[in-house]
Amino acid sequence: MMKADLLAWLQEGNITIPITLFSEYRNLNLNEYELILIIHLLTFIQKGNEFPTPVELAERMTIADSDCTNMLRKLIQQGLIQIIEGYSNEGIRYEKYSLEPLWDRLVDQFMLHQKNNQLQSKQVEETDLYTCFEKEFGRPLSPFECESLAMWMDDDHHDPIIIKAALREAVMSGKLNFRYIDRILFEWKKNGIQTIEQAKNQGRKFREKQNQNRKVNDTQQSSPSIPFYNWLEQQ
């Protein structure tokens, strides 16, 4: 390739196409021909021709201009592209294609997938939460306990990770019961505890405070007991 040819090739430029268009075009009821038509339409627009004719578009494809006309009409009817008015610097009115409706639809599809992924993640977390509780309690949860778990998540809006941290705190304190865990969650919410690190720090601070207030009776004891914070006594 000659240098002049290479420069000409570089000057042709590039177009930016959202990856979501390739992953979602089927969900927008588009086929491959319509997808390629949109890409060509986008290429014309970015090159300055905002209203290419069906003939111009068909010349770059393997379909007749009549088929191209029908596809353009279908895309407009589906609300994926639209014809809008534009004005030149001289104030002359002209028509042009707009792909904004397509981008809006792609954003909606992307947000829908994000929401579905979040719901799936939440369901997995909730299932894992019930499993953790049953493992620590060594038995299936009672209907009342299942209802308490659901209320912590749905009514009190505690994150499953925080509920797991409260369960762990109850296990460490040797007070494995729902009333104790509920008290921990209540205190954490009152003190603005929202992350696992904040929960760990809060529990550690309480235990350190208890350690400071406890008198050492036998410094020779090989396995000194570790006092834990009693959340039920917190006022």
The ranges assigned to domains in the chain are 10-105, 141-213+227-233
Q: Is the pTM of this model over 0.85?
A: no
Q: Are 193 and 174 in contact (CB under 8 A)?
A: no
pLDDT at 208 over 80: no
The domains spanning 10-105 and 141-213+227-233 adopt the same CATH topology: yes
When the pLDDT of each residue in the chain is averaged and rounded to a whole number, the result is 85
User: For the residues 7-20, what does the mean pLDDT come to?
Assistant: 76
Q: Give the architecture (CATH level 2) of 10-105.
A: Orthogonal Bundle (1.10)
* Phi and psi angles of residue 84, each rounded to the nearest 5 degrees, phi first: -125, 170
Could you give the residue ranges of the DSSP H alpha helices within 138-177?
Answer: 143-154, 160-172
What would the pLDDT profile of 125-181 be if each residue is shown by its tens digit? 888 999 999 999 999 999 999 999 999 999 998 999 899 999 998 998 888 999 999
Q: Collapse the DSSP code of 38 into the 3-class scheme (helix H, G, I; strand E, B; otherwise coil) and give the result.
A: helix
Amino acid type, 59: E
- Extract the tokens encoding 120: 């799936």
User: Distance between CA 75 and CA 80 in Å, rounded?
Assistant: 5
Q: Are 52 and 44 in contact (CB under 8 A)?
A: yes
User: For the residues 186-202, what does the mean pLDDT come to?
Assistant: 86
pLDDT at residue 218, rounded to an integer: 46
pLDDT at residue 217, rounded to an integer: 46
pLDDT at 201 over 80: yes
- Extract the tokens encoding 110: 């992307």
- Choices 3.40.190.10, 3.10.180.10, 1.10.10.630, 2.40.30.10: CATH for 141-213+227-233: 1.10.10.630
pLDDT at residue 220, rounded to an integer: 43
Question: Would you place residue 235 in the very low, low, confident or very high pLDDT band (cuts 50, 70, 90)?
Answer: very low
